[in-house]
Amino acid sequence: MPSSWPPPPFDDAHARMREWDAWYTGDPERLVEIYTGERRRAVTPRLRPSTYRGGLVGGLARFFWGRPVPVGQTRQRLHVPLAADIATASADLLFSEPPRIIVDDTAAQARLDLALNSPAMHSRLLEAAEIASALGGAYLRVVWDADVAEHAMLDAVHADAAVPEWRWGELAAVTFYTRVRVDGPAVWRHLERYEPGRIVHALHVGTDTELGRPVPLAEDPSTAWAAPLVNAEGNIATGTDRLAAAYVPNVRPNRVWRGTPQLAPLGRSDFDGVEGLFDALDEVYTSWMRDVRIAKARLLVPTGYLQDNGAGRGASFDEDREVYTELNALSRGGSDTLTVSAHQFAIRVAEHRDTAEDITRTTLRAAGYSLATLGDNDGDASITATEVTAREKLSNRTRDKKARYWASGLAHVSAALVEIDRAVFGGTATVPDLPKVEFPDRTQPDPEALARTVQALGAAEAASTDVRVRMVHPDWEDDQVDAEVAAILTESGRTVPDPAKFNGSEKTSTQANSTLFR
């Protein structure tokens, strides 16, 4: 095991993921820490030399979140959670409707449905997809615990909690790590290394940047459960030759690390390259709110209108008082007129709004999404499904690309899940080939438009009854389609008796002859 943790070059990758995570979580203090390199403290603001430097350090320091607050000012900075909105939209595009995982073996299909077709598993996929959007990818791994469920399960692991190993761009092994305890400078880490056929558990005590020495699993309550399960080498057999984990990239190629072989297979975050736009949007909204703050109406009144509140207690103005006494009215510039003037600055609403909308639109386009995906349909709630598809064309293309990565990852890890489930819980399920993963259509067709299309195809005799039923009900099984076709042919009177079976007392054979009309 390497001494530093995470080992190079993954320390650079995880540092970049921390920046993306700061935008995803939207914590202003974390953003200040990322772009200033120091924790936010309640001290007098100071200028930093890094602000005037060139290169990456100077560029980060000149971010809105990296600029120092001038001495004597308390500047309130506002964060707009556009990054979190993008990550949520990405997950919704993929898993608002769960995918279907199909295998030929009936027993394997039953175990897959039991393990994956549940609200808890669907929610876990949503979580994994949202994290993958922010960090560039996510891991799926097979876990099992008879006290929790009598079947194997899928678990999602964030990309910044793993160190992968690749072979020809495919995941060959991966080490997941978790901080289980922090005692002052001592950091306890639980390492789970997934290899084909086994999982290796280890517990290390080191520092924030060093892995440290290995210690027995029983020394910490969070890993004591694994102590009696591992063999002398710390392994737990999985019962399958497959790797019980899969990596799902958000999207490839990775622009940042394409020249680093160990990092090139990692996915690209939706935030990659648009951090500056996120920063600019926060600056615009902060300026907008500053206009609101300084535009509050203020009154300037002569000193004679102020009520003395006593020594050391200042003076106040009662705007409801009707009679005032002015003693030195003629001493001010020779004027005997006492005036109360109102000061109120204009709020530049249109300028700020237009700038914010343009930055948002540019950010979404760079990330691969349409503005309509975030709910901006110009207030028109009556648009058809065809219009929705047109407005969200860019988002749908991005969704289709991501769905292929998820289909590949789910297929590999589902095959491992079935074999591990059989080894641990028994049964006869087998998966000789990878399962098929089908994602449902995101935009449902407009029923009225679909009905017109089906009617036109029927009138033109360009599609059979079977084809038209499948167009209207794409999610139906073959037996459901056959039954519906038979019912339609019977109701329309297009069935004829089967001469080979008709004896005068039997009903017409719809099933045998309906194929004539398909």
Tens digits of per-residue pLDDT, 433-490?
899 999 987 655 567 777 888 888 888 888 888 888 888 887 788 888 899 888 888 8
pLDDT in tens, 263-319: 999 999 999 999 999 999 999 999 999 888 888 777 777 776 777 787 777 777 776
Q: Are residues 218 and 261 in the same domain?
A: yes
- Residue range 109-122: average pLDDT? 92
Q: Are residues 435 and 503 in the same domain?
A: no
| Per-residue H/E/C for 452-517 | HHHHHHHHCCCCCHHHHHHHHCCCCCHHHHHHHHHHHHHHCCCCCCCCCCCCCCCCCCHHHHHHHH
pLDDT at 49: 47
Residue 496 vs residue 423, higher pLDDT: 423
Q: Which helix (H) or strand (E) holds 393?
A: helix 393-425
Is the separation of the CB atoms in 293 and 303 below 8 Å?
A: no
pLDDT(392) > 90: no
For residue 491, count other CB atoms closer than 10 A to its CB.
Answer: 9
Q: Are residues 513 and 478 in the same domain?
A: yes
Beta strands in 105-241 (DSSP E): 137-143, 153-158, 162-167, 170-183, 186-195, 198-206, 213-215, 235-237
Q: Are residues 453 and 386 in the same domain?
A: no
Instruction: Evaluate the CA torsion angle 313, 317, 320, 323 in order and state its sign.
Output: positive
How far apart CA 235 and CA 216 sit, in angstroms, is 13
Give, to the nearest 10 degrees, the angle between helix 28-36 and helix 10-25: 140
Least confident of 10-19, 72-81, 335-344: 335-344
Of the chain, the percentage scoring pLDDT greater than 90 comes to 54
Least confident of 243-257, 402-416, 471-485: 471-485
The answer to whether residue 190 is domain-embedded is yes
pLDDT at 514: 44
The answer to whether residue 61 is domain-embedded is no
Last residue of a domain, one of 442, 458, 482: 442
Give the number of domains in the chain.
2
The answer to whether residue 228 is domain-embedded is yes
pLDDT(72) > 80: no
pLDDT at 330: 46
The answer to whether residue 282 is domain-embedded is no
The answer to whether residue 68 is domain-embedded is no
The answer to whether residue 287 is domain-embedded is no
pLDDT at 463: 87
Q: Are residues 83 and 179 in the same domain?
A: yes
Is the separation of the CB atoms in 334 and 328 below 8 Å?
A: no
Q: Are residues 513 and 454 in the same domain?
A: yes
Please count the residues of the chain. 518
The answer to whether residue 54 is domain-embedded is no
pLDDT in tens, 211-245: 999 999 999 999 999 999 999 999 999 999 999 99
pLDDT(516) > 80: no
Q: Are residues 418 and 513 in the same domain?
A: no
pLDDT at 54: 46
Q: Are residues 397 and 466 in the same domain?
A: no
For residue 303, count other CB atoms closer than 10 A to its CB.
Answer: 12
Least confident of 182-196, 290-304, 504-518: 504-518
pLDDT bucket at 403, cuts 50 / 70 / 90: very high
Last residue of a domain, one of 442, 475, 508: 442
Q: Are residues 162 and 236 in the same domain?
A: yes
Last residue of a domain, one of 390, 408, 442: 442
> In the beta sheet, which residues pair with residue 170?
167
Q: Are residues 378 and 483 in the same domain?
A: no
pLDDT at 36: 84
The answer to whether residue 344 is domain-embedded is no
How far apart CA 226 and CA 239 sit, in angstroms, is 17
Q: If you average pLDDT over each of 66-70, 317-321, 407-411, which comes out highest?
A: 407-411
Q: Are residues 438 and 450 in the same domain?
A: no
pLDDT(32) > 50: yes
What 8-state DSSP symbol labels residue 271? Answer: T
What residue type is 290 in one-letter code?
R
Q: Are residues 182 and 85 in the same domain?
A: yes
pLDDT bucket at 511, cuts 50 / 70 / 90: very low
Domain that holds residue 515: 445-518
Name the pTM for this structure: 0.77
pLDDT(500) > 70: no
User: Which residues, in sequence order, are CB contacts of 277 under 8 Å at separation 6+?
Assistant: 359, 362, 363, 366
- pLDDT averaged over every residue in the chain: 83
- Residue range 133-138: average pLDDT? 97
What residue type is 289 in one-letter code?
M
pLDDT at 42: 36
